[in-house]
Amino acid sequence: MAFAVHNSLTRTKEPFRSLEPGVVRMYNCGPTVYSRPHVGNYRAFLFADTLRRWLEYSGFRVEQVMNITDVGHLTDDADDGEDKLEKQARKEKLDPWAISRKIAAQFFADLDALGVRKAKVYPKASEHIPEMLEIIDGLIAKGHAYVVGGDVYFDVKSFPRYGRLSGNRVEDLAAGARIAVREEKHNPEDFALWKSDPAHVMKWATRFGPNGFPGWHIECSAMARKHLGDRIDIHTGGEDNIFPHHECEIAQSEGFTGVPFATYWMHAKFLQVDGGKMSKSLGNVYSLDDVQAKGFSARALRFALIRGHYRQPLNFTWDIMRESTSALEGLDDMVVRLRRALHGEGASPSADDGLESFADVKAEFEAAMDDDLNTPRALAALFKLRTHVLEGRLGISAAAVALQFVERRANSVLGCIQTEAATIDAEIETLIEQRQAARKAKDFKESDRIRDELLARGIVLEDGQSGVTWKRK
């Protein structure tokens, strides 16, 4: 069976086909770095990571871009309200750039702890102003946008497909419901591409005036185009991004380029806390630190967040964390037992016993993931394998292929089972970090020693632009 994905644009499950054979270009809306991302954000980011891992499992090379929003995201998600970063900066008596650096660093540390594969690039909005202005100028020239004072608005009536993604019809959008009504707008639903505000700290001088900053939506149109091109395969986000954010991105990108922007739009349902909304005022917004302070591992959090299907509601409670931890221990334990079975311990007498049931498990795992990333079904297949193992139904040969599959294949998608391979990888990462620290401290004797130790273990280091990478000899 081939990979099928639910496309928010068509509201149907469609067979996945990339624009270029063998390559997938994917853009994920990333965090707004005004406060540490919470477990809900990580549901959306881990969905993107699982998607990428499944595409890689299926043989695609994935060019993944996840942005960092460090300016222009207003508190009401549309044209009114305060810039989230500037508001936080005032509260903390810091400048917004310092907030952005601090939160982005925490975000990257969280991604590492959660075992998220690195995107090709994490572009920052504030570093793509010229790319945004190029699109804005083009939209004005094409009659899709207009200037009022120092502000630039997109004219939604100039783009007949506006509303197609979210199902909103321009005429039905209650004036002021999500997008504030402003006298100077041609239509109440028009949204800002560029805004002027002398009080804004993060600001740029342009032909529209000396004190401008971008609208949140134009940022993603510009960063996706810069790093992936005019057309991309997949665009993801949380369900709240559908409107207005992604609806506006489509209008801007397609209005400017004249070609379809993303083929597939995929959205993760919101994570709820104790069955309700996660909100700072309710005090139920949890970060990875909060989860770890309660004694749970990042690995267990990863498992808790990916074990539900990304389009089904998912609840976050401490009971669910406890349950996830013990379920994950069950999978860890299966790996230990499979390894023992290689030596005959707990194995079925005939070496080939269980080969067929293993083949069924593997086929079910793959069919489930191919079916719009059905992680709960894929996990159920692994738990079925665990039952076979516990009941001693696998012979030595079956145990060998099953172990190989779980460690190298299934876990390349799930990224949270404690396997020998994962333990070794973690040790290597630690040694590399120690070598980096030694180099920074100019202790070259120590850094050479670590490099030699790694070499002896068959690990070759490569110093690249985005840091040190490693591969097996």
Q: Which residue is nearest to ligand AMP (CB)?
A: 238
Closest CB 397 distance from ligand AMP, rounded Å = 43
From the list Zn ion, ligand AMP, none, pick the one residue 419 interacts with, judged by a Cβ distance below 5 to 8 Å according to partner type. none
Nearer to ligand AMP, 71 or 268 (CB): 268
Contacts of 373 (CB under 8 A, 6+ apart): 5, 47, 50, 51, 54, 309, 310
Residue with Cβ nearer ligand AMP (249 or 370): 249
Q: Which is nearer to ligand AMP, 86 or 155 (CB)?
A: 86
In the bound complex, what is the minimum distance in angstroms from residue 412's beta carbon to ligand AMP? 24
Work out what residue 238 binds among Zn ion, ligand AMP, none; the CB cut-off runs from 5 to 8 Å by kind: ligand AMP
- Residue 191 is encoded by which pair of tokens? 């949204």
CB of 43 to ligand AMP, least distance (A): 4
Query: Minimum distance from CB of 260 to Zn ion (Å)?
Result: 18
Q: ∠ CA(92), CA(101), CA(285), 5° rounding?
A: 60
Partner in contact with 55, chosen from Zn ion, ligand AMP, none, beta carbon below 5 to 8 Å by kind: none
| 305 vs 399 by CB, closer to ligand AMP | 305
Integer Cα distance of 456 and 380 in angstroms: 40
321 or 432, CB closer to ligand AMP? 321
Q: How far is the CB of 28 from Zn ion (least distance, A)?
A: 8
31 binds, among ligand AMP, Zn ion, none (CB under 5 to 8 A by kind): ligand AMP
Question: Binding partner of residue 220 among Zn ion, ligand AMP, none, CB under 5 to 8 Å per kind?
Answer: Zn ion
Q: Which residue has the tokens 């490693």?
A: 470
State the pairing for strand pair 4-7/12-15.
antiparallel
Smallest gap, in angstroms, from Cβ of residue 49 to ligand AMP? 13
Element (H, E) at 215: none
Cβ–Cβ contacts within 10 Å for residue 121, how many? Answer: 16
> By C-beta, is 35 or 411 nearer to Zn ion?
35
Q: Which does 36 bind (CB under 5 to 8 A by kind): Zn ion, ligand AMP, none?
A: none
When the beta carbons of 7 and 348 are compared against ligand AMP, the nearer one is 7
In the complex with ligand AMP, which residue's Cβ is closer, 103 or 132? 103
H-run or E-run covering 342: helix 318-342
What is the closest distance, in whole angstroms, from the C-beta atom of residue 88 to Zn ion in the complex?
A: 19
From CA 229, how far away is CA 222, in angstroms rounded? 10
268 binding partner (options ligand AMP, Zn ion, none; Cβ < 5 to 8 Å by kind): ligand AMP
**Residue with token string 């790694």:** 454
SS3 content of the chain, % helix, strand, coil (to 5): 50, 20, 35
Q: Alpha helix locations (H) across 124-246? A: 129-141, 216-228
Cβ-in-10-Å burial (0-12, 13-18, 19+) of 26 comes to buried
CB of 191 to ligand AMP, least distance (A): 16
Give the shortest CB-47-to-ligand AMP separation in angstroms: 8
- Please spell the DSSP secondary structure of 407-455, one letter per residue: IIIIHHHH--S--HHHHHHHHHHHHHHHHHHHHHTT-HHHHHHHHHHHH
Neighbours of 279 (CB within 10 A): 10
Report what 212 binds from ligand AMP, Zn ion, none; CB cut-off 5-8 Å by kind: none
Question: Which of Zn ion, ligand AMP, none lies near 185, with the C-beta cut-off 5 to 8 A by kind?
Answer: none
Which residues are near ligand AMP by CB under 6 A?
A: 29, 31-32, 40-41, 43-44, 69, 237-238, 240-241, 268, 270-271, 278
Positions touching Zn ion (CB under 5 A) are: 29, 220
Q: What distance in Å separates the CA atoms of residue 429 and residue 91, rounded to the nearest whole number?
A: 37
Using CA atoms, how far residue 216 sits from 70, 83, 128, in Å, is: 9, 10, 12
Is the CB of 66 or the CB of 335 nearer to Zn ion?
Answer: 66
- The size of the chain, in residues, is 473
